[in-house]
Amino acid sequence: MRILINETEKHINEEVTIAGWVSTRRDHGKIIFIDLRDRSGVLQIVFTPQDRELYEKATKLRPEWVIQITGNINKRPKNMENIEVLTGTIEMEAKAFTIFSEAETPPIEVQEDGMGIGEESRMKYRYLDLRRERMQKNMRMRHKILNFCRMFLTENDFVEIETPILSKSTPEGARDYLVPSRVAPGKFYALPQSPQQYKQLLMVAGFEKYFQVARCFRDEDTRGDRQPEFTQLDIEMSFVSVDDVLTLVENLFTEMIKELFPEHHITSFPFPRLPYAEAMEKYGNDKPDIRKKKDDDKELGFVFVVDFPMFEWKEKENRWDATHHPFTMPQVKDAEDLREQFKKGPGNILSFQYDLSLNGEEIMGGSIRIHNAELLQAVFELMGNKTEDIKEKFGHMLDSFTFGVPPHGGIASGIDRFVMIMQGEPNIREVIAFPKTGDGRDLMMDSPTEIDKAQLEELQLIVDKKNKKI
């Protein structure tokens, strides 16, 4: 039975079987050494000429071949130990091995950290790029973070509920990715920018505490901390105040750091809470870096920014828009009060919006939501939406609010960005298994690609290649 390499130290002077990838092969006179790698570590294997057939077979081994080896686990001689490797005090004396698959010479080096390799090569051969130790550590830590969040929220009586990927196109700040419908020609689904409306509808449904590790999609220009598709930890609660939400988040991250990153220290606890206006005045931005030593990557400067403006002016559109999203609760008494304050100065109306920043990066954002249909209608109108458009795009939300809706609020975290910070990586592509390039392409799968004529006809779509439009 195969065991993992990190278990071999428990089997000194015993015969065991391991399996994995050949990392390196070294010929030292009459002795051949290979380093075999599996998901748990690396072990040195020794082949000697005493078994001529096995020795000759070992001379053919090359990097990245996949093999299984049976042999004795022995202590290394004292002067041959390697304390930098977990299994550096032992080695295997090979007795037999099986070649599962041979490998061509990899087009990219997988033993180094990969930082010196061009993005196009790394993305094209991502399945090889992911073999490197740094990438394996990133993916495993990402798993641990998500697993911790799931356990923490479950223990706090939250229910994990999946929401649809095929949804409705509604204005939420960024361009939607659209999916044509075969059964309803000329109509389209949209991939969700976030589960915002669904999670609020779950509050209407009476679940009271919801969370989801949600896949989100936004058709916007990529950058180091942004991808066309990304992962979000989504949280929503009923009958809560701003303080309730922020306290939950504070406890989540504090306990996570203690368990998963004990070598790190938090700058200030409880996390400071800065009004938006104060953050802008003191730090010049709404995601301040409050660390005492900004070059200390083990210091974690968590800070909440609260009391954001409800509206911001959109120059290109010549209108006022919601700073966060239109479902955010403004700090007003009711719809009439909102309209009166809007007349006096839209930019002066505050909201119950809050963000969490870490070391100068926003990692969470949320708000207390509007739960009154009249107030929500007023927000849409003040943003310049016509009554018929409001009904068409958000009628389902307004209708749901007529059947008894609790006050509620929530927050969402960009998992990719948080893992990036904690792993000390320069961009989120380093912590996503299969990311897109800077210009939104998947070089490994060669997408996006053209669709064949039969599929287009089935969807009743025509591509105008000359003018590059559908």
The torsion region of residue 142 among left (phi > 0), alpha (psi -120 to 50) and beta comes to: alpha
Q: Could you tell me how far CA 73 lies from the centroid of its own chain?
A: 40
Q: Which helix (H) or strand (E) holds 16?
A: strand 15-28
Please report the pLDDT score of residue 468 as a whole number: 62
Return the ∠ at Cα 433 (arms to 427 and 434), rounded to 5°.
Answer: 90
Tally the C-alpha atoms within 13 A of residue 15's C-alpha that lie toward its C-beta: 7
Query: What is the DSSP code (8-state) at residue 240?
Result: -
How far apart are the C-alpha atoms of 287 and 80, rounded to whole Å?
Answer: 51
How far apart are the C-alpha atoms of 452 and 292, rounded to whole Å?
Answer: 57
The answer to whether 432 touches 227, Cβ cutoff 8 Å, is yes
Please report the pLDDT score of residue 469 as a whole number: 64
The answer to whether 463 touches 470, Cβ cutoff 8 Å, is yes
Please report the pLDDT score of residue 83 as a whole number: 84
The answer to whether 242 touches 306, Cβ cutoff 8 Å, is yes
Q: Do the bridges between strand 66-75 and strand 15-28 make them parallel or antiparallel, or are there none, so unpaired? A: antiparallel
Q: Could you tell me how far CA 331 lies from the centroid of its own chain?
A: 32
pLDDT digits (tens, 9 = 90+) for 417-438: 999 999 999 999 999 999 998 8
CATH topology match: 5-101 vs 131-431: no
The answer to whether 429 touches 227, Cβ cutoff 8 Å, is yes
Low-confidence ranges of the chain (pLDDT < 70): 171-173, 466-470
Please report the pLDDT score of residue 172 as a whole number: 61
Please report the pLDDT score of residue 84 as a whole number: 83
Q: Which helix (H) or strand (E) holds 412?
A: strand 408-414
Phi, psi of 38, rounded to the nearest 5 degrees: -130, -170
Q: With CA atoms as reference, report the closest residue to 158 among 58, 237, 240, 43.
A: 237
10 Å CB burial of residue 273 (0-12, 13-18, 19+) is middle
What's 5-101's CATH class?
mainly beta
Residue type, 426: P
How far apart are the C-alpha atoms of 451 and 453, rounded to whole Å?
Answer: 7
Computed over every residue of the chain, the mean pLDDT equals: 94
Under CATH, which number does the domain 131-431 receive? 3.30.930.10
pLDDT digits (tens, 9 = 90+) for 162-175: 999 999 988 666 78
Q: Could you tell me how far CA 113 lies from the centroid of its own chain?
A: 21
Q: Where are the domains of the chain?
A: 5-101, 131-431
How far apart are the C-alpha atoms of 6 and 43, rounded to whole Å?
Answer: 8
- CA dihedral of residues 423, 428, 432, 435 (deg, nearest 10): -160
Token look-up 């990586």 returns 425
How far apart are the C-alpha atoms of 221 and 224, rounded to whole Å?
Answer: 10
Reduce the DSSP state of residue 232 to 3 states and report it: strand
The answer to whether 30 touches 80, Cβ cutoff 8 Å, is no
Q: Could you tell me how far CA 358 lies from the centroid of its own chain?
A: 16
Tokens found for residue 456:
């287009």
